[in-house]
Structure 1
Amino acid sequence: MKVVRRPALSVLFGVLAAAVLIIGPPLAASAAGPRIDLQVLVVTNGSASVTAVTQQLKAEGVPYKTVDLRDSDRPVIDEAFLSDTVDGSPRAKYQGVVLPNAAPFEDGAEMAALAAYEKRFGIRQLDAHVRPSAAVGMNAPAYSGPMDGVTAQVTEAARADALRYLGGLVRFDDAEPDVGETEGFVATPLPDDPDAGKSFKPFVTATVKGKAGTVAGVYTHDGRSEMVLTFTSESEQWHFQTLGRGLVTWLTKGVHLGYDRNYFAVHVDDVFMPDARWSTEHNCTPTEDCDDGVETEDIRMEAGDVSFATQWQSQHGFVLDMAYNGAGSDEATLKNGVDPLTAAFVAVRDKFRWLNHTYSHPFLGCVQDTSTSPWQCRRNQSGQIVYVSAADIEREVTRNVQWASGRGIPVDAGELVTGEHSGLRVTPQQPDDNPNLAPALAKAGVKWTASDASREKAQRVIGSVRTVPRHPLNIFYNVGTAAEEVDQYNWIHTRRSDGGSGICEEDSSCIEPLDPDNGYESYIVPAETRIALAHTLANDPRPHYAHQSNLAEERILYPVLERVLSQYWSAFAANTPLINAPMSALGDELRRQDAWRAAVNAGAMDKGDVTAYVQDGTVTVKAPAGLEVPVTAPEGTRDAGGAPFGQTYAGERSAYRAGDVTLTLPGA
């Protein structure tokens, strides 16, 4: 008889269980993590230190929302203000929080809500200026007082973190020895307490009057991270200009909207032309504002100046843009049979960038009536302004391009610098652009034309052409020596009682007369350096300009350029080079900045026209078609196709992207 064996009960149960798993519903996908919107919350009490941080955010293009503690109608900072739920996931509305100090609220409930929010979502807090105490992980101050002239050190930990773009030193300004510019505290951190989850990582240290300690660092406590700054700041102070980028990087964990570069380009106008010389005796310039009979010798570069410029560029790794006028060369050749200056430049033409400055440097706006001082626009019998014709404008532009082409000088026909930025409006004489300018430039193929940033800082669109505002260096076009520069500087900036023109008395900007022997090196060079670097470190792509006269004779432009470069490299690491780009590239960057800032100022983030957030290691940006959105992310970030995202700069990656963007952060 055949015996049939039954399976054990345990086997039957296993089979049944397997059957249940097979026919049952699939396992639910893991829930999405919190969403962190890419916008910063700035809580201000009006202090300069908070304003400096706000200016840094604005300069980089980082969206932010401001709550002013002085405003009685301000929103209450509570859970509903800070977070909500979107598509089933909790949302943090702000990726970082800036406070004037560690606890600025009168109502403790607001600080408690903010602390709970930061802990829940891992949001970082930046305290713009605090007094050291146990509340921020520090001992009482070892030093309290002025920080002017102090050189602080960036720690290795900070250089491996958000301050990776710095070389190691942070200098506090002492521009006016008799005026206190920065107040601060120096203190040591409290010992770390791992059991309580408390630690302090110094970012910047300093020694003042023998007292050593920390002036910036990260206090980790209660599940939160808090950047503590113990010094005051203003946006144009050197210490903040160098630290500002890193503060934003730390606050946002290196992921934010915005695009930041340090730009420095220098245009040299009137190349090949002679420039009139300032009369130190009569305090005027012939052909401009001197009486008849006053004459001075013109200033014009020589062949040796070209050799010097070539060597200087090579030594400093910096290229100058030569804005040239071909007529100056032709006139010198016609007069002398040969022009050594032209021959010298042509021989090294590929060493420089070249800009069309029109053939003969005429005024391209209205027809000028110089019979009066100041000049006026000529008018016809109907009282209408008479303008230079489109044909004359086009001829000046195209003839200069042809002149360069005939000598093998490479020039972009799309870039133009008109003489004195003429053709554009100039108040009070010519309140409108020459109506013939736009069609003439379009016909000549011009896409970018220079303007004067001291008159018009904003970029404008003129027909099919965009302006590129340029910052004037206060090295005068009509001087070739330091003594001439100081003489004219004193004339403009000192009181009548001190021998000056007294113009400065109208706005109380007068200075004490500069010493003719050393005033240039001791005052003007440092002043112009500070101004130029303030532009450079403010994410400002506008180029600077001087004149060929400043490269002639005593070559007084070079001390300013050398000081700008040396001060820059004394602070910044090699991963953060100066962006010295052609005029068209700088103009295009200004266009992108303006478009993005206009969108943000119009409320694109609040209205939902632009959404940007981090969720589960993925950055998502959605924007209207045609809008280029600037995005910055850490090294290692990849785009949707798996390629490295953007371009590397200052230890980060960044780029402008149009349309929807998806990025994968490192480690995700």
Structure 2
Amino acid sequence: MTLPPARLLSAVTLSLLLAACGTSPTTTAAPVPTAQEPAAQGPGAPDTVNTDVGHSHGERAIPGLGVDPSTFPTHARLGTPTILPAARVSAQALPGNVQPSITALKVLILSSGSGDFGLATAKAMLQEAGVPFDVLDATMESLDMGRLVDAGGVGRYQGVVLTSSALIYAAPGGLYPSALDAGEWDTLFEYERTFGVRQLALYGAPGTAPEDYGLRTVAGAETSTTTLTLSTAGRAVFGDLTASAVPVNYAYTYPSAVTPMPGITTQVLATDPAGNVLAATSTSADGRERLVLTSAQNPYLLHSQLLSYGLVQWLTRGVHLGEHRRFLQADIDDLFLSGDRLDPATLAMRPNPYRVSGNDLLNVYSQMKNVQSAYPVARSFRYAMMFNGGGANASVPPLCVNWPMLTRDMLSSAAKCLYTQFDWVNHTRDHLRMDVMDLATATTQVGDNVTIGTKLGLVMSRNALVTGEHSGLGNMDPGDDGTYNDSDVNLPKQDLGLGRSNPNVLSAAVSAGARYLASDHSVASHWDATCPTCGVPHPLNSGVFLVPRWPNGMAYYVTDPTEALAYYNGMYGPAGRFPYYDHNLTYAEFLDKDSDLTLNHVLDGGAFPHYMHQTNLRQYAAGKSLATDWVRAALEKYSRYSTLPLTTLRWADLGPYLERHTREAKAKSAGTLYAVWNRATNQVTVTSTAGSVPVTVTGDTAGTLYGAYRSRSQDVTGTLTVTVAPR
């Protein structure tokens, strides 16, 4: 293997890795689980076996998806729509001051009510891209021209999303009226035509109401399981996807066929194995552009997540506030310490703890470089090593080959060699539980570890901190008196909220220069459900910002596939604590299931790390470790479908990125950050009414290229004008 040059400190020194938001649709009976749809229990169920010292899943979930499949739109059949006569709104003329070239950079979601199974998907795809949106419940509110055009004649929306093509809902007598009446549909179409606004229907059974797409359903072809393959035209819209067929499972589908209609031009984007249409664009006789999908959607289903990026870019013509970027961050906790190790025969801990070796660390570096070479989407990938300096020896020489006879601690020597190759992050000196720790001890634990890292010569992300077990942040035993602060006893924990955080830990972090603290995404108070891609400003200390991290299926006390399976099958196999599978999984099956969940997280667009532990770095076979097996499984699956590069940031950059993203998202949500687009001049004017805030504009001609689109991120105070290039 090739390693970086070592620093010559002695003559012997050498150089060398899925709440369910879908609800029962109002257009049909509630989904009925079938024999192929397992119950809502499985990996992710709360347990104490996998607590690290806090490494618990914390979520009860179907493997690889994180939700109960009985809530998926497997049976989301669409009734025949009825368009009611204009009653609430007559077709309305545009105001006399209309400015058809100018629209706000915002999207309107039209919903058919509280049981609308497509609403969660519409929100998720826009949130992932950072696109501002409004939701209009058409069963409760009227859609008139005042809702679409402001007093200055500017269009309020750059795009329109229909959660289903006719916005139908169930009514007495077996009828399925549209939530928009004829006058409202006419008003919407007039707005779209005048302002050149595109319309996306997330689900439809193509027919003639409320309008014709030039498609008709193929009788008898309806299904809930199929695959989607892009056409040449589809690859232009979904340019981030590979040629691999996309699975469409748990989603009722109306395979359709092109039916030529006067004045309508239909372009097939995707087909099923029989050549039937699953997605198409269509231009109406009055020139409006529509895109319709004939499969039901859900934000946790693979086809919905994979199509999301291309759908948003098509809808907005590649010009919008925010950006859709994907991340692969892998943290390794507890480096330099010894940890529990499972005996797979007894499912008890072995008497002797396990500490990763220096040779293991050198090989993990080699594995990381091989990952970068093997997967073009992961060129920037690197591990973050969350280290506990209390287990290190800072006086040893750096060694870049495994010569333990030349050092008192080969692991510390290897770390010195690899001082720039990993992202080194403070995990406190001794990994103590900090929920009720005094200020002096907390300050010592945080500050001493920085000192040790400096003596080791590690290039650290000094603005970041991971506390042992994510402790000190309110997820704790409410009766904890500090007796077990220095042990790995898994006390019963409750999410008491961030208000029960230990202020001494927060103060110690700030004093040491650490602003960004890791939190546990499986703890409800540690992440922001209202903004799924945001971090969390700490309510008790403005100097602290939380970065949620995802757990995974690698228990903290396993070092090889046999141990990993003993834990996993002991939890979720047919005889496990939470029986889920009908057989004990093989290692390949386990990686396949867990990488489904990882893929779900990656496609969500959140810059949140996944975390594992030092035991998972053991080289159990030549060039192999559990951690790198997990990374490769995730990348193998992601690369099968997507070409978008996965960003890996050092924590020194990750924290600030996530904080800027959060500030921008909150400003857009509050309406204090907004923009208008003049398509005649291709100028976007961004306005902030709440002081200086970050803003990201996708489509900016001078921005940074990601995929096929450029985005610029900068601060704006007052107004900012940028030039864009629509697609």
TM-score (norm 2): 0.72
Distance 2:476 2:419 in 1: 37
- CA-to-partner distance for each residue in 1:257-295, whole Å, 9 max, x for gaps? 22221011000011121111234465444xxxxxxxxx5
Give the C-alpha shift of residue 547 in structure 1: 0.4
Q: Is the 8 A contact 2:99 2:154 kept in 1?
A: no
Partner residue, 1:40: 107
Partner residue, 1:303: 358
Q: Is the 8 A contact 1:363 1:419 kept in 2?
A: yes
Give the C-alpha shift of residue 226 in structure 1: 0.7
Give the C-alpha shift of residue 296 in structure 1: 2.8
Distance 2:279 2:149 in 1: 29
- CA-to-partner distance for each residue in 1:498-550, whole Å, 9 max, x for gaps? 6444xx4xxxxx413652xx43321x322321222222111211111000111
Give the alignment partner of residue 58 of structure 1, picking from 127, 148, 173. 127
Give the C-alpha shift of residue 115 in structure 1: 1.4
Give the C-alpha shift of residue 332 in structure 1: 12
Q: Secondary structure at the match of 2:225?
A: coil
Give the alignment partner of residue 531 of structure 1, picking from 597, 600, 606. 597
CA change 1:149–1:520 in 2 (3 A) is farther
Partner residue, 1:439: 507
Q: Is the 8 A contact 1:97 1:124 kept in 2?
A: yes
- Bigger drift between 578-587 and 656-665 goes to 656-665
CA change 1:350–1:601 in 2 (3 A) is closer
Partner residue, 1:136: 213
Give the C-alpha shift of residue 203 in structure 1: 2.0
Partner residue, 2:232: 156
Q: Is the 8 A contact 1:125 1:227 kept in 2?
A: yes
Q: Is the 8 A contact 2:394 2:456 kept in 1?
A: no
Partner residue, 2:657: 589
CA change 1:230–1:149 in 2 (3 A) is closer
Larger Rg, first or second structure (1 or 2) = 1
Q: Is the 8 A contact 2:663 2:694 kept in 1?
A: no
Q: Secondary structure at the match of 1:355?
A: strand
Given the alignment of the two structures, is residue 340 of structure 1 paired with residue 414 of structure 2, yes or no? Answer: no
What amino acid maps onto 2:456 in structure 1? Answer: R
- CA-to-partner distance for each residue in 1:338-376, whole Å, 9 max, x for gaps? 22222233223332221121222222232xxxxxxxxxx
Distance 1:396 1:173 in 2: 50
CA change 1:433–1:39 in 2 (3 A) is same
Q: Is the 8 A contact 2:226 2:272 kept in 1?
A: no
Give the C-alpha shift of residue 443 in structure 1: 1.9
Give the C-alpha shift of residue 93 in structure 1: 1.8
Give the alignment partner of residue 621 of structure 1, picking from 669, 681, 686. 686
Q: Is the 8 A contact 1:172 1:237 kept in 2?
A: no
Distance 2:247 2:609 in 1: 26
Partner residue, 1:22: none
Give the C-alpha shift of residue 224 in structure 1: 0.8
**Structure 2 unaligned blocks of 5 or more:** 1-96, 168-177, 373-380, 398-403, 481-495, 529-535
Distance 1:667 1:261 in 2: 19
Given the alignment of the two structures, is residue 167 of structure 1 paired with residue 242 of structure 2, yes or no? Answer: yes
Q: Is the 8 A contact 1:132 1:141 kept in 2?
A: no
Aligned positions of 1:58-137 closer than 5 A: 58-69=127-138, 71=139, 74-86=140-152, 90-104=153-167, 105=178, 107-133=181-207, 135-137=212-214
Given the alignment of the two structures, is residue 663 of structure 1 paired with residue 722 of structure 2, yes or no? Answer: yes
Aligned positions of 1:359-398 closer than 5 A: 359-366=429-436, 388-398=437-447
Q: Secondary structure at the match of 1:228?
A: strand
CA change 1:311–1:98 in 2 (3 A) is same
Distance 2:583 2:441 in 1: 44
Please report the RMSD computed on the Cα atoms of aligned residues, expressed in angstroms.
2.9
Given the alignment of the two structures, is residue 512 of structure 1 paired with residue 581 of structure 2, yes or no? Answer: yes
Distance 1:667 1:204 in 2: 23
Aligned positions of 1:179-218 closer than 5 A: 181-191=250-260, 196-207=262-273, 211-218=274-281
Distance 2:430 2:726 in 1: 60
Q: Secondary structure at the match of 1:342?
A: helix
Distance 1:184 1:532 in 2: 26
Q: Secondary structure at the match of 2:154?
A: strand
Distance 1:121 1:667 in 2: 15
What amino acid maps onto 2:144 in structure 1? Answer: D
Q: Is the 8 A contact 2:607 2:658 kept in 1?
A: yes
Higher relative contact order (CA 8 A, sep 6+): 2
Give the alignment partner of residue 478 of structure 1, picking from 551, 557, 561. 557
Give the C-alpha shift of residue 553 in structure 1: 4.8
Partner residue, 2:385: 322
- Bigger drift between 120-129 and 423-432 goes to 423-432
What amino acid maps onto 1:467 in structure 2? Answer: L
Give the C-alpha shift of residue 622 in structure 1: 1.0
What amino acid maps onto 2:571 in structure 1? Answer: I
Partner residue, 2:548: 469
Q: Is the 8 A contact 1:36 1:91 kept in 2?
A: yes
Aligned positions of 1:401-416 closer than 5 A: 401-416=450-465
CA change 1:425–1:43 in 2 (3 A) is same
Q: Is the 8 A contact 1:143 1:187 kept in 2?
A: no
Partner residue, 2:519: 451
What amino acid maps onto 1:39 in structure 2? Answer: K
Partner residue, 2:73: none
Q: Secondary structure at the match of 1:203?
A: strand
- CA-to-partner distance for each residue in 1:138-192, whole Å, 9 max, x for gaps? 2442772335362x333333333x4222223351255xxxxxx12223333234x
TM-score (norm 1): 0.78
Give the alignment partner of residue 614 of structure 2, picking from 522, 533, 548. 548
Distance 1:214 1:245 in 2: 20
CA change 1:403–1:633 in 2 (3 A) is closer
Q: Secondary structure at the match of 1:623?
A: strand
Q: Would you say how many aligned residue pairs link Structure 1 and Structure 2?
A: 562
Give the C-alpha shift of residue 560 in structure 1: 2.0
CA change 1:614–1:144 in 2 (3 A) is farther
Q: Is the 8 A contact 2:229 2:271 kept in 1?
A: yes
Distance 1:667 1:146 in 2: 37
What amino acid maps onto 1:425 in structure 2? Answer: G
